[in-house]
């Protein structure tokens, strides 16, 4: 059986991977406009409400990584610790979560690249506003993003670190400028921007929060990439999980500074209709250098694109060696890259980009896949939390983990079911249409349950696993 290359990632690689995979600049640009349209100046509150539960999810994943580091991560844990049928269904949920996360990255990748080229005078407005050219540039990014994955894990990490350095340098610079510009704010800061009980507990506020949380799930995920990179880590039972927590904390800190500044210094009406809220904010505080913000967003988008594909490629590689997918998916190159999985993901991304041209509205297509991705990401974390809860009930791990896993499972499940009531409204998607799409995507996953007998769990032999397990037998 071909194996991934071992002992590649140091924790100094894993923390940037987890941070860049969340992609703060891209996440804000892709989601904050819609969040503002739904919740107005209270949009940041949805991140503040969701963060504790995602932090709890990261703590649970750290525990699961200690028990069984594996490239299949979530679905492998479910199959090993709960049961094969549970893990097989979870494999489908995880695959949907990350595959559906790709189009909402590819579409903006084309938009932001064309926007930069237009701002610096290389192309005309007709090209910048063309859906066809947006798709062509998006497809180009899909192909480019496959290159570091084919080259191997270490090149992917180093390229990611370089792009993250550019992203953070620009973001920090604009944050400093934004803080300096606070005296000229359009909307003075108020604690209600972060939390407003009267708004939250009103019918409109509650449903708005429910809808927004589905989107927030797509901007607070990605840190878990270190779980899928555990087999390639130097200390697979120590560092994966820990670096994910660090990445989540870093990005949350960026959100809690940047988002309030954007709401204070930009008209709410302008943010709510913007396809690139960061550029809209930059145009308010330093108009001549908006194009610099485009560089940060493109850097963030590109790294998010190949890191999301990285996660999915490891899932499909693991599924190939465990008999869920054809064994060819477990094929790797000499540098340890699961090339069949990478090529398959790339081709499917190109097909989706071509299909989206037939959509009557690019914004509706974007909204549908974005909200669906948020729903399945929430389901993924919910199932991980249920795995921990199952271990607590069995008495396999201390009961204190139940105090974290139960609230996490309930919250993540609620995001999906309450989101159906109002999710997608900002994109012109009604609740019944959204629910039908989710159901039609979930049902094929039941077919994987038929592969119960073909699934053969692969216990990865890692040099330091036995020693670490003796230190922490739970």
pLDDT tens track for 153-180: 999 999 999 999 999 999 999 999 999 9
Residue 446: predicted pLDDT: 84
Tokens of 299: 């850097």
Burial class of residue 23 (count of CB atoms within 10 Å of its CB; 0-12, 13-18, 19+) = buried
Residue 101 DSSP one-character state: T
Distance of alpha carbon 129 from alpha carbon 139, whole angstroms: 16
Distance of alpha carbon 64 from alpha carbon 474, whole angstroms: 10
- pTM, two decimal places: 0.93
Distance of alpha carbon 61 from alpha carbon 325, whole angstroms: 24
Distance of alpha carbon 220 from alpha carbon 349, whole angstroms: 22
Residue 1: predicted pLDDT: 57
- Where in the chain are the domains? 11-453
CB-CB contact of 338 with 10 (8 Å): no
- Residue for token pair 């670190």: 161
Residue 174: predicted pLDDT: 96
Instruction: Tell me the average pLDDT across 241-261.
Output: 97
79-129 pLDDT, tens per residue? 999 999 999 999 999 999 999 999 989 988 888 999 999 988 898 888 877
Give the rounded percent of residues in the chain with a pLDDT score beyond 70. 93
Instruction: Tell me the average pLDDT across 444-451.
Output: 82
Q: How many CB atoms lie within 10 A of CB 147?
A: 14
Give the rounded percent of residues in the chain with a pLDDT score beyond 90. 66
Residue 470: predicted pLDDT: 41
Query: Widest CA span of the chain, in angstroms?
Result: 66
pLDDT at 148 over 50: yes
CB-CB contact of 236 with 230 (8 Å): yes
CATH number of 11-453: 1.20.1740.10
Query: Which residues are paired to 9 by β-bridges?
Result: 233
pLDDT at 207 over 90: no
Residue 422: predicted pLDDT: 66
Residue 428: predicted pLDDT: 61
Residue 209 DSSP one-character state: H
382-429 pLDDT, tens per residue? 999 999 999 999 999 999 999 999 999 999 999 888 777 665 555 566
Residue 4 DSSP one-character state: P
Residue 363: predicted pLDDT: 64
Residue 465: predicted pLDDT: 47
Nearest CA-CA partner of 73 in 93, 54, 49: 93
| Alpha-helix residue ranges (DSSP H) falling in 100-241 | 103-119, 125-128, 131-151, 153-180, 197-200, 203-216, 225-228
Mean pLDDT over each residue of the chain, to the nearest integer = 90
Backbone phi, psi, residue 233, to 5°: -90, 155
pLDDT at 262 over 70: yes
DSSP 418-439: HHHHHTTGGGT--HHHHHHHHH
CB-CB contact of 297 with 279 (8 Å): yes
Q: How many CB atoms lie within 10 A of CB 289?
A: 16
Query: Which residues are paired to 233 by β-bridges?
Result: 9
Task: Tell me the pLDDT band of 473, cut-offs 50, 70 and 90.
Answer: very low
Task: Tell me the pLDDT band of 450, cut-offs 50, 70 and 90.
Answer: confident
| Number of residues assigned to the chain | 474
């Amino acid at each position: 059986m071909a194996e991934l290359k071992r002992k590649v990632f140091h924790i100094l690689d894993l923390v940037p991977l987890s941070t860049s995979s969340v992609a703060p600049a891209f996440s804000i640009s892709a989601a904050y406009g819609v969040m503002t349209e739904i919740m107005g100046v209270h949009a940041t509150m949805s991140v503040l409400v969701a963060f504790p539960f995602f932090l709890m999810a990261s703590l649970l994943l750290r525990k699961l990584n200690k028990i069984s580091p594996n490239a299949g991560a979530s679905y492998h844990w479910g199959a090993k610790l709960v049961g094969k049928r549970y893990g097989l269904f979870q494999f489908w949920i995880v695959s949907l979560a990350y595959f559906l996360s790709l189009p909402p990255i590819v579409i903006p990748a084309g938009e932001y690249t064309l926007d930069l080229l237009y701002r610096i005078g290389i192309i005309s407005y007709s090209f910048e506003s063309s859906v066809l050219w947006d798709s062509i540039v998006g497809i180009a990014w899909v192909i480019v993003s496959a290159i570091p994955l084919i080259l191997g894990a270490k090149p992917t990490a180093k390229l990611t670190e370089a792009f993250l350095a550019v992203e953070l340098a620009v973001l920090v610079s604009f944050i400093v400028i934004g803080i300096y510009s606070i005296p000229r704010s359009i909307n003075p800061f108020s604690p209600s921007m972060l939390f407003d009980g009267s708004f939250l507990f009103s019918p409109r506020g509650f449903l708005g929060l429910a809808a927004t949380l589905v989107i927030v799930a797509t901007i607070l995920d990605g840190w878990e990439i270190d779980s899928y990179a555990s087999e390639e880590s130097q200390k697979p039972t120590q560092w994966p999980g820990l670096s994910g927590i660090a990445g989540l904390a870093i990005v949350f800190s960026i959100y809690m500074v940047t988002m309030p500044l954007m709401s204070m210094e930009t008209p709410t009406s302008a943010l709510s209709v913007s396809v690139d809220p960061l550029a809209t904010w930059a145009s308010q505080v330093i108009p001549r250098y908006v194009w610099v913000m485009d560089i940060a967003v493109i850097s963030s988008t590109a790294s998010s694109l190949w890191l999301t594909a990285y996660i999915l490629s490891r899932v499909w590689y693991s599924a190939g060696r465990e008999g869920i997918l054809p064994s060819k998916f477990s094929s790797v190159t000499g540098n340890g890259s699961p090339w069949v999985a990478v090529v398959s993901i790339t081709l499917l991304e190109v097909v989706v980009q071509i299909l989206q041209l037939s959509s009557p509205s690019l914004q509706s297509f974007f909204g549908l896949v974005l909200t669906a991705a948020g729903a399945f990401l929430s389901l993924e974390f919910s199932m991980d939390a249920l795995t921990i809860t199952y271990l607590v009930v069995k008495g396999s791990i201390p009961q204190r983990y139940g105090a974290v896993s139960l609230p996490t499972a309930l919250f993540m499940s609620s995001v999906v079911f309450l989101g159906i009531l109002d999710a997608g409204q900002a994109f012109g998607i009604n609740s019944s249409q959204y629910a039908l799409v989710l159901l039609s995507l979930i049902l094929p996953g039941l077919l994987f349950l038929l592969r119960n007998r073909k699934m053969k769990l692969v216990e990865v032999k890692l040099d330091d696993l036995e020693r670490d397990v003796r230190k922490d037998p739970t």
